Amino acid sequence: MTFTHKHLETYRRDGYVVVKNFFSPEEIGLLYEVATSDSLLRQKSYDRTDASGLKTKLALWYALDDSLYSQFARAARTVRAVEQLLGGTVAHYHSKLMQKEPRTGGAWEWHQDYGYWYKNNGFLFPDMLSALTALTPATRENGCLQMIRGSHKMGRVEHGFTGEQVGADLEKVTEALKIMPLDYLEMEPGDTAFFHCNTLHASAANLSDKPRWSIITAYNLASNKPYKDVHECSYTPIVPFEGSLLEAAGTGISEGADFLVK
């Protein structure tokens, strides 16, 4: 499915929008096959522990290389959608592969992405968003994404540590949930959720017998150059990759992808 003006209106109203079948089953099948067999990506993955001690595994990288993941991040359909959502030329901030394994995958506490990016990375303006694409089915049982609809209109709230994660002020979250709907984003492989960097979101632990894998790309207006972050990718305009991922030449990730090391 293509990104439409109706999707744009929904995003502006709700702080997020899900575009069904944004990538084809064949494209996602290829991406998932490459990801699950990528030894370097496995080596670069690290654990994040939630408040209960369960762990979610992820790999995060900044640079665009010649891999399939980078061609995915540069997909013209995505770049053009993000340009509509952010209102200008966009840059790739980072990508991450989220791996919630069966029965052990931890929760993500309530947070805004901008809670991290403003405090730790020096982005002065919330001209940023994330695009999450499901690689496996995402359900309530395996810890799908949860959104507080309309919470992006609250602006940035204060964040502190919860386990090894940075979480939003729970008083604000509690009050927000009293007046705004809580949505569970159950998604099929290839569905993509675009969400504003100030939208409060979370996910429960994966206590099912099914994995929940997703790939998330964070985008930034190229003009929103951070004063702390040293990654050039965050303000370098993206050269879109035209066509299907099935036509992409890239395979596994490279050392040049500039991984976050924990």
Does residue 216 have a pLDDT over 80? yes
What is d(CA 6, CA 151) in angstroms, rounded to the nearest whole number? 19
Distance CA 244, CA 250 (A): 12
Backbone φ and ψ for 85, nearest 5 degrees, come out as -70, -40
Report yes or no: 55 and 177 within 8 Å, Cβ to Cβ: no
Rounded to whole angstroms, the maximal C-alpha distance in the chain is 49
pLDDT surpasses 80 at 94: yes
Residue with the bigger pLDDT between 123 and 159: it is 123
Confidence (pLDDT) at 48: 83
Residue 227 binned pLDDT confidence (cut-offs 50, 70, 90): very high
Task: Say what the pTM is.
Answer: 0.95
> How much is the pLDDT for 168?
86
Tally Cβ neighbours within 10 Å of residue 90.
27
What confidence tier does 108 reach under pLDDT thresholds 50, 70, 90? confident
Which residue, 30, 34, 7, is CA-closest to 189? Answer: 30
> Above 80 in pLDDT, residue 262?
no
Q: Is the pLDDT of residue 163 over 60?
A: no
pLDDT more than 90, % of the chain: 83
Mean per-residue pLDDT of the chain = 94
- Whether the CA torsion 192, 95, 150, 84 is positive or negative: it is negative
CB count within 10 Å of CB 64 equals 22
pLDDT of residue 121: 94
Residue 90: closest CA among 231, 220, 239, 216: 220
Say what the pLDDT of residue 228 is.
95
Kind of pairing between the strands at 108-111 and 201-203: antiparallel
73/235 Cα distance (integer angstroms)? 15
Contact 16, 6 (CB under 8 A): no
Q: How confident is the model at residue 52 (pLDDT cuts 50, 70, 90)?
A: confident
Q: How many Å from the N-terminal Cα to the C-terminal Cα in the chain?
A: 37
At residue 46, the pLDDT reads: 93
Residue 30 has pLDDT above 70, yes or no: yes
The domains found in the chain, sorted by start residue, are 5-257 (2.60.120.620)
User: Which tokens go with 252?
Assistant: 């596994």
